[in-house]
Every structure is written in C-alpha cells, then in structure tokens.
C-alpha cells in the first residue's frame, strides 16, 4: 500500500468518525496533530485522531463509534479509550496520563473553532494543549519542542492568567518551561508577559527562603513514572 493510499484511508476514517461523533450532540474537541497544525504550524502524518471529552461523556462517544462498526476498547479507564479501523485509530481522551489535567467545562468554554477534513470542529484551547504537553517529559517522548513552537506562534494571544491557574500547584514547571522558551527564542521573549515572569520569579525567591520539605517526595513520577521508579523502589522517596 502506498503512503498516499494509507493517508487517504486515514482521512476517510477520521472524517467518518467525526461525523458519527457529531450525531450524538455530545460536546468534544479535537487535539493532537490537528491542533498542533493550528497552533504551531507543525504538520505531521498521524495514525490517530485525538478526541478530548469529559470523562462522563467518554462511554457514550465510544458507544457511538462501536455502533458505527469500529472495534473499540477501554485502554485505561482513568483517561483513555480507543476505536480502531485497521492500523488507524481514534483516541478518546478525558484526562492526562498522570491524572492531573481532567477535561472539564473550562476546556469546552474556551475551545476554538477549526476545520478538519472539510468539517467544522472545536479544537482544544491552546492553553490546555500547553497544560498537558508540559507534563510530557518521558524518555520515550518529550513534548518540549511542541511547547516552544506553540509559544512561538500563539504566545501573544494566550490567556496567561488561566494558564497560570492551571499550574497553580506546579508553578515551577511553568517557570522552567518559559525559561527554556526564552533560551530557544531570545528574539521572542516578549511573547511571555513580564508580569508573569516577575510573579514566577517572586515565587521562586520566596520558596528559597522557606525550609526544605521534610517529606522525601519524588514528583518526577508526574512526568515519567518509569524513569523515576528507581527513586521510589531503591532510594526511599515517596511516590506521587
């Protein structure tokens, strides 16, 4: 089978799946490679279509795809289900892999209008794309370049206050990400508002003035559970 034929088959499947999902009337959003094309000008050939929905809607959407004749499975009840058509598949995603970024009404309220394969769809908001991708720091997959490319293209138009609220507990990750972005793109440093960097740096300074935590916690497992398994298994750290 030629690459062109494989691509045409994938696009036909994705379009049919989207039409089937729209019939349900249940709100959902498209993410993954299709949102990356919109927010970062990155075009990738993909074998899957990422559909984001609230956890309570996942079963009904999966059922609609099953009714259409696709093979379905609940891959991980905490966040992921799939529908297959040969080598291509649809991912139904209701949370991040680490359970920290559940799809909620705020995602849907800020979803953006888009067009995929001639169909009008809602796209995952760029702020929530960044929220989930910043946690993807595994040995086998690291989304740092995607994050930087999104910030380069749409940084000036982001709702930075909402993104900061998303990282309220793990603000250090946001600070580290933005420092890396300014290293990669020094000419675009103004894409990140000054007030945000001031706030994050203020938090860093204040945290340095506090005594170190007595709890030997390894939060690395939020980023890559496999790579930080040794910390818990052999070095006495408490898992997240």
In-domain check, residue 34: yes
What confidence tens digit (pLDDT) does each residue in 139-168 have? 999 999 999 999 999 999 999 999 999 999
What confidence tens digit (pLDDT) does each residue in 16-37 have? 999 999 999 999 999 999 999 9
Torsion sign over Cα 16, 19, 20, 26: positive
Sheet with 48-52: strands ordered across = 71-76, 80-85, 88-93, 48-52, 29-30, 119-123, 112-116
Give the integer Cα–Cα distance in Å for 155 and 149: 9
- In this structure, what CATH number is given to the domain that contains residue 27? 3.30.460.40
In-domain check, residue 73: yes
In-domain check, residue 10: yes
What confidence tens digit (pLDDT) does each residue in 68-94 have? 999 999 999 999 999 999 889 999 999
- pLDDT at site 4: 52
In-domain check, residue 192: no
- What pTM value is reported for the model? 0.94
The answer to whether the beta carbons of residues 147 and 157 sit under 8 Å apart is no
- pLDDT at site 36: 95
Average pLDDT value for residue range 202-231: 93
Residue 29 belongs to domain spanning: 1-124
- pLDDT at site 151: 98
Q: How many CA atoms lie within 13 A of 88 on its CB side?
A: 20
In-domain check, residue 67: yes
pLDDT at 6 over 90: no
Average pLDDT value for residue range 179-207: 97
């Amino acid at each position: 089978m030629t690459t062109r034929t494989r691509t045409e088959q994938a696009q036909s499947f994705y379009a049919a799946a989207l039409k089937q999902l729209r019939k349900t009337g249940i709100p959902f959003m498209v993410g993954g490679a299709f949102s990356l094309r919109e927010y970062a000008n990155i075009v990738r050939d993909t074998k899957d279509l990422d559909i984001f929905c609230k956890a309570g809607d996942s079963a009904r959407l999966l059922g609609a795809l099953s009714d259409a004749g696709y093979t379905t499975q609940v891959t991980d009840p905490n966040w992921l289900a799939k529908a297959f058509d040969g080598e291509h598949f649809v991912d139904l995603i209701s949370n991040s892999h680490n359970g920290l970024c559940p799809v909620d009404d705020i995602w849907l309220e800020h979803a953006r209008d888009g067009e995929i394969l001639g169909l009008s769809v809602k796209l995952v908001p760029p702020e929530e794309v960044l929220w989930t991708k910043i946690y993807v720091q595994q040995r086998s997959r690291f989304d740092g370049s995607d994050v930087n490319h999104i910030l380069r293209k749409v940084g000036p138009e982001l709702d930075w206050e909402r993104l900061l609220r998303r990282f309220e507990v793990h603000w250090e990750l946001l600070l580290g990400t933005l420092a890396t972005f300014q290293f990669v793109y020094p000419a675009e440093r103004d894409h990140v508002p000054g007030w945000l960097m001031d706030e994050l740096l203020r938090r860093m300074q204040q945290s340095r003035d506090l005594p170190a935590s007595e709890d030997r916690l390894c939060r690395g497992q939020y980023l890559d559970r496999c790579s930080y398994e040794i910390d818990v298994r052999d070095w006495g750290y408490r898992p997240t």
